[in-house]
């Protein structure tokens, strides 16, 4: 699933990065952009308070971009077939921009505000009260359940024996 060699990445550098984070974290995950065919970041568990963190399915993880490719991460409201929340990523690799932070079934439920500042376009997802968040989660769950929508998610083991979890066009490979 996740190719061993990528055109944009130096495999030695990726290995060294994994070893570096492996000294600090019990679990280390490489974040891949499958359409751009490259590593965009790394995640470590358990999270340290001194680094950027995200809560994903009850686990707090630190995340770090690689070569300034990872822009943001979001735990979405739609569920995997195993009942866990899907994860969305935003990445910029060269001229390629990929964004899965907002699920198709969340469109129109989870607000997406577009602000323009000069030539730069920013979009934000979130910033709601606990009540609004609970209502959005309920609405997304209802749509996903009532229409039997299955999230684009896959869990597998690669040829190196590493666990790989794919979320649409992004994947997390556990390397430690």
Q: What is the CA radius of gyration of the chain?
A: 17
Encode pLDDT of 25-51 as tens digits: 999 999 999 999 999 999 999 999 999
Write out pLDDT tens, residues 153-162. 999 999 999 9
Task: Tell me what pLDDT residue 5 has.
Answer: 44
- State yes or no: pLDDT of 124 exceeds 60: no
Contact 72, 52 (CB under 8 A): no
Position 112 scores a pLDDT of: 61
* Rounded Cα gap, residues 151 and 132, in angstroms: 23
Answer whether residue 133 shows pLDDT above 70: yes
Give the pLDDT confidence of 57-115 residue by residue, as tens digits.
Answer: 999 999 999 999 999 999 999 999 999 999 999 999 999 999 999 898 988 788 665 55
For residues 46 and 58, is the Cβ–Cβ distance under 8 A? no
Listed by start position, the domains of the chain span: 11-103+151-174
Residue 126 has a pLDDT of 61
Please report how many Cα atoms fall inside a 13 Å half-sphere around the Cα of residue 68, on the Cβ side.
2
């Amino acid at each position: 699933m996740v190719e061993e060699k990528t055109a944009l990445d130096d495999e030695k550098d990726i290995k060294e990065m994994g070893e570096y984070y492996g000294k600090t974290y019990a679990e280390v995950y490489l974040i891949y952009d499958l359409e751009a065919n490259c590593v965009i970041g790394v995640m470590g568990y358990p999270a340290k308070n001194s680094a950027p963190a995200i809560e994903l399915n009850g686990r707090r993880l630190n995340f770090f971009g690689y070569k300034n490719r990872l822009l943001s991460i979001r735990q979405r409201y739609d569920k995997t077939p195993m009942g866990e929340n899907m994860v969305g990523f935003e990445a910029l690799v060269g001229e390629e921009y990929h964004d899965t932070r907002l699920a198709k079934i969340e469109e129109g439920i989870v607000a997406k505000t577009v602000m323009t500042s000069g030539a730069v376009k920013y979009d934000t997802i979130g910033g709601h009260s606990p009540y609004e968040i609970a209502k959005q989660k309920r609405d997304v769950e209802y749509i996903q359940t009532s229409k039997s929508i299955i999230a684009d998610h896959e869990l597998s083991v690669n040829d190196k024996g590493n666990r790989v979890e794919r979320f649409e066009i992004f994947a997390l490979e556990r390397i430690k």
